[in-house]
Amino acid sequence: MAEDDGTKSNHGMSAEELQKMKEAREKAKSVSVMGKLKEETIKKTADKVQTKPKHIIAYPEFAPVIKANRPPLVTWRRFLLALYLSAGATATMYILTKVSHQH
């Protein structure tokens, strides 16, 4: 290797340039290692967050209130169907009582 007096080495670089390149390489290696460590830490933390168990509510009175938009219990169609069936049942009972009293 050449000395610090500015002479060129076998690659056409001075000792100062070689030293600067070595320092730059070391810095780049440490940055890439730190980047990898940060990525691994982030992945581990994300895995812990994703595998964290959800809270189990043991008592329903403490459960959050969720209002569901349910359809109405009585609709026109259901009302008319109930009216039709009750009219049919009433007519059947009336006819049966008239037939049974004739004998």
Residue 71: per-residue pLDDT: 84
Residue 93: per-residue pLDDT: 96
Give tens-digit pLDDT for 76-95: 999 999 999 999 999 999 99
Residue 72: per-residue pLDDT: 87
Residue 52: per-residue pLDDT: 55
Residue 15: per-residue pLDDT: 83
Give tens-digit pLDDT for 14-45: 888 888 888 887 777 665 655 666 677 766 66
SS (H, E, C) the chain: CCCCCCCECCCCCEHHHHHHHHHHHHHHHHHHHHHHHHHHHHHHHHHHHHCCCCCCCCCHHHCCCCCCCCCCCCCHHHHHHHHHHHHHHHHHHHHHHHHHHHC
Residue 32: per-residue pLDDT: 60
Which pTM does this prediction carry?
0.34
49 or 67: which carries more pLDDT confidence? Answer: 67
Domain boundaries, the chain: 1-52, 75-103
